[in-house]
Structure 1
């Protein structure tokens, strides 16, 4: 099977589909996606046109290569498919609702779960699913393993064997970008997922609505988006009534390097919790949400933080008390860790699955962290750090 897939991929390189046109869509009615900036949807003649565009951003760095663009044409079964000419030249035709879905990121699985279509998954990244049922299907061989998008491009032999209608594809590097036309040449429609590029965390919720369109579960997706949006509005209002507090979110990378959150969706969560991010920078979807700084820089700008998210699942252990004592958050005991909802035996972290599309849950933790008067519920993903030496 591997040899067959590679052979097909190489053969397909001689007749790759044309580059999708970025021409303005002629006519139609735009379907509102209030928060998304990486895609738009236009309804026309009984089908939908979806334009997705974003940069592939290196981890902790800047955009890699050229901005990526994809035009999809979503045509319901029974509706005549339009000719892929004119403003549809080079677009990818997808008949909806799709029934067989491949995914290369765990948060895609969170989306399919809230839409009630996990039974349509035929391939996933691997065995790190938070969902026990999905993980059991992977381990039994019922679901193919194609590899996670933050590590490598999908494994072609496993992907072809799964026979998906579509691949929901998160692209972590340029190797994945290069693999995309090969996958398409095998007859698999690729739906790029640029969720991480959304500067507003609510833009992630619009991706639930997009996949709801693909699956024919728009009502469920719309209801989910409305629920999350209501929760966010209530949390923002409660936080805004409290005094603004200084906040630092920076994890230790080892050596003399720290990674503070500075921009985009993660920084907006801190702002909406009525926190003053001491490392804030302007939003920029062509750069990652964090940057690397030295310990000296961290002390100079972060010493007056009232609360500090000191650890996450990537962090190296930091035990230098002479440094920690220079921070108000340490002295006042307001140190937190973004390491809740873990299944160590499965190496599964719900922070990277459900929490991606439930920013209201993350925002709730941040509001309770910064504003003790609002601690009316337990912490979920971001919780007091009990591992720091005193």
Structure 2
């Protein structure tokens, strides 16, 4: 009978489209989020309402489908839940603090780690965790594997078996969006994480504050976010006192394809390091941070850059020395790679975990890359490229 009821709930959920926006804002006292643009939190008597709104953006491309919207009501376990009617109709009710957490993306694990609640993770994407202790728990089966959210929705069998109170869910395509009502129908509240849609890299840090509300670690979350903001301010001031230098961040995608950083949070990091990004264009939350161009375009716009981030963890090796020599950055030895903090045995990159919510660490690398006078600390994530052919 229980299986039949679950099946009926699942089929009912399939008939409900994913929530889309925009929706009318709810009334209440705003809980300050200094930088976030993809979510808003309001306080009411005894509970909070969180509205999350963003587009699902294809990798290296444009937004797909309608803008997504989710309204969540956070109610303390000891409190009385408001009726989900009126402006709360269709909202997702979550009791706080959340004690059992499922996650489908690596940087969620960094958030729970800085909040001191990694022991509450009952399901994660897989075994690529940077955190050795968590990875061991996953390998032992103590933490379930539901699949990373890069290309597919979570594995429902593993998710339900983990019995989470909530699923922190990043979505890379519309298949994941379509899975949300099915997951909710099976009794797992979904909190969509639109961190990648934040136009300012500090907006990503505000997601630590949001998860802090879920797990009752707001004090720790606010202290963390304030610490990152202070460090960013110091780095920006130091960089601004140096001469502006030109830069490109373009990695090789194979064939005749390059992927330069153009817009949004990644471009802002280059700008705040007092770099003049030769490929910079207008910010657009409905586009990914990079676009695809040809080698000819790369040379035409980027040949005179002072520095070049040539590789990242996705890059295919580029061996054409004759083409490389056409770039000033290559000739003068300012070629860098974004592949630091790697544990090869685990295929784990901290760049996709801690670095996402520690933009001060990434900004520090960029500042040191562009301004040799400020190289007083070692590089961490973005470092001189020792694999570039000579």
- TM-score, normalized by length of structure 1? 0.97
Q: CA deviation at 1:332?
A: 0.4
Secondary structure of 2:201's partner?
Answer: coil
In structure 2, the CA distance between the partners of 1:156 and 1:31, relative to structure 1 (3 Å rule), is same
Aligned twin of 1:264 = 264
- TM-score, normalized by length of structure 2? 0.97
Aligned twin of 1:91 = 91
Aligned twin of 2:68 = 68
Q: CA deviation at 1:25?
A: 1.0
Q: Report Cα offsets for 1:95-126 as digits up to 9, x if no partner.
A: 10000000000000000000000010000000
Distance 2:6 2:325 in 1: 57
Q: CA deviation at 1:17?
A: 9.0
Aligned twin of 1:132 = 132
Task: Indicate conservation of the 8 Å contact 1:47/1:73, yes or no.
Answer: yes
Kindly indicate whether residue 30 of structure 2 is the aligned counterpart of residue 24 of structure 1. Answer: no
Written as runs of structure 1 = structure 2, the 5 A alignment for 1:86-165 is: 86-165=86-165
In structure 2, the CA distance between the partners of 1:167 and 1:253, relative to structure 1 (3 Å rule), is same
Aligned twin of 2:296 = 296
In structure 2, the CA distance between the partners of 1:8 and 1:157, relative to structure 1 (3 Å rule), is farther
In structure 2, the CA distance between the partners of 1:237 and 1:4, relative to structure 1 (3 Å rule), is farther
Secondary structure of 1:65's partner?
Answer: strand
Aligned CA-pair RMSD: 1.5
Task: Indicate conservation of the 8 Å contact 1:18/1:90, yes or no.
Answer: no
Distance 1:367 1:134 in 2: 32
In structure 2, the CA distance between the partners of 1:18 and 1:200, relative to structure 1 (3 Å rule), is closer
Distance 2:20 2:64 in 1: 20
Distance 1:250 1:19 in 2: 36
Secondary structure of 1:252's partner?
Answer: strand
In structure 2, the CA distance between the partners of 1:6 and 1:152, relative to structure 1 (3 Å rule), is farther
Secondary structure of 2:291's partner?
Answer: coil
Distance 2:157 2:4 in 1: 8
Distance 1:294 1:9 in 2: 49
Secondary structure of 2:159's partner?
Answer: helix
Q: CA deviation at 1:138?
A: 0.5
Task: Indicate conservation of the 8 Å contact 1:8/1:186, yes or no.
Answer: no
In structure 2, the CA distance between the partners of 1:17 and 1:59, relative to structure 1 (3 Å rule), is closer
Distance 1:224 1:114 in 2: 8
Written as runs of structure 1 = structure 2, the 5 A alignment for 1:289-368 is: 289-368=289-368
Distance 1:210 1:42 in 2: 12
In structure 1, stretches of 5+ residues that fail to align are none
Task: Indicate conservation of the 8 Å contact 1:99/1:120, yes or no.
Answer: yes
Secondary structure of 1:202's partner?
Answer: helix
Q: Report Cα offsets for 1:342-372 as digits up to 9, x if no partner.
A: 0001010000011000000000000000000
Distance 1:348 1:9 in 2: 37
Q: Report Cα offsets for 1:170-227 as digits up to 9, x if no partner.
A: 0010000000000000111000000000000000010000000000000000000000
Q: CA deviation at 1:11?
A: 2.9
In structure 2, the CA distance between the partners of 1:389 and 1:198, relative to structure 1 (3 Å rule), is same
Distance 1:358 1:113 in 2: 13
Distance 2:18 2:311 in 1: 45
In structure 2, the CA distance between the partners of 1:328 and 1:64, relative to structure 1 (3 Å rule), is same
Task: Indicate conservation of the 8 Å contact 1:9/1:183, yes or no.
Answer: no
Aligned twin of 1:171 = 171
In structure 2, the CA distance between the partners of 1:105 and 1:8, relative to structure 1 (3 Å rule), is farther
Task: Indicate conservation of the 8 Å contact 1:17/1:185, yes or no.
Answer: no
Secondary structure of 2:282's partner?
Answer: coil
In structure 2, the CA distance between the partners of 1:233 and 1:4, relative to structure 1 (3 Å rule), is farther
Kindly indicate whether residue 221 of structure 2 is the aligned counterpart of residue 221 of structure 1. Answer: yes
Secondary structure of 2:75's partner?
Answer: strand
Q: CA deviation at 1:8?
A: 5.3
Aligned residues between the structures = 387
In structure 2, the CA distance between the partners of 1:380 and 1:152, relative to structure 1 (3 Å rule), is same
Aligned twin of 2:238 = 238
